[in-house]
């Protein structure tokens, strides 16, 4: 698959995540055509979030956890999600059965 096409698709998918919903890195990679491309999604988010004004905070890992290693980044992401109505479980995870966005389903 063309790297530029994958990148464009990832950016488009992330832009389409509505407020109050999340997608996982792997889920985005799968929809963009590379089921094993979760790490590339991380790289794209890291390098392009500001340029494309991506709602980066709506992307979490497959366990329903915030994947940012720094405390400041973690707190920022959690506060942004909570501000959109996402409720975290006591174990600091997001219930993916409630908040996971599926672009193929009409919500």
Which residues neighbour 57 within 8 Å (Cβ) at sequence distance 6 or greater? 76, 77, 80, 81
SS (H, E, C) 34-75: CCCCHHHHHHHHHHHCCCCCCCHHHEECCCCCCCCCCHHHHH
When pLDDT is cut at 50, 70 and 90, the band that residue 104 belongs to is confident
User: Residue 100 forms beta bridges with which residues?
Assistant: 22
CA dihedral 6, 31, 67, 62 (to 10 degrees): -150
Please give the model's pTM, rounded to 2 decimal places: 0.93
pLDDT at 1: 67
Distance CA 24, CA 88 (A): 15
Domains, the chain, in order of start with CATH, read 3-99 (1.10.10.10)
pLDDT tens digits, one per residue of 36-89: 999 999 999 999 999 999 999 999 999 999 998 899 999 999 999 999 999 999
The radius of gyration of the chain from alpha carbons, rounded to an integer in Å, stands at 13
Confidence grade of residue 101 (pLDDT, cut at 50, 70, 90) = very high
pLDDT of residue 107: 54
H or E stretch including 23?
Answer: strand 23-24
């Amino acid at each position: 698959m063309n790297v530029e096409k994958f990148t464009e698709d990832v950016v488009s998918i992330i832009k389409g995540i509505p407020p109050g919903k999340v997608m996982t890195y792997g889920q985005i990679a799968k929809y963009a055509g590379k089921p094993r491309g979760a790490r590339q999604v991380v790289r794209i988010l890291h390098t392009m979030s500001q340029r494309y004004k991506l709602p980066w905070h709506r992307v979490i890992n497959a366990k329903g956890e915030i994947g940012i290693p720094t405390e400041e980044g973690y707190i920022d992401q959690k506060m942004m999600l909570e501000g959109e109505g996402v409720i975290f479980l006591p174990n600091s995870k997001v219930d993916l059965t409630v908040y996971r966005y599926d672009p193929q389903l009409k919500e």
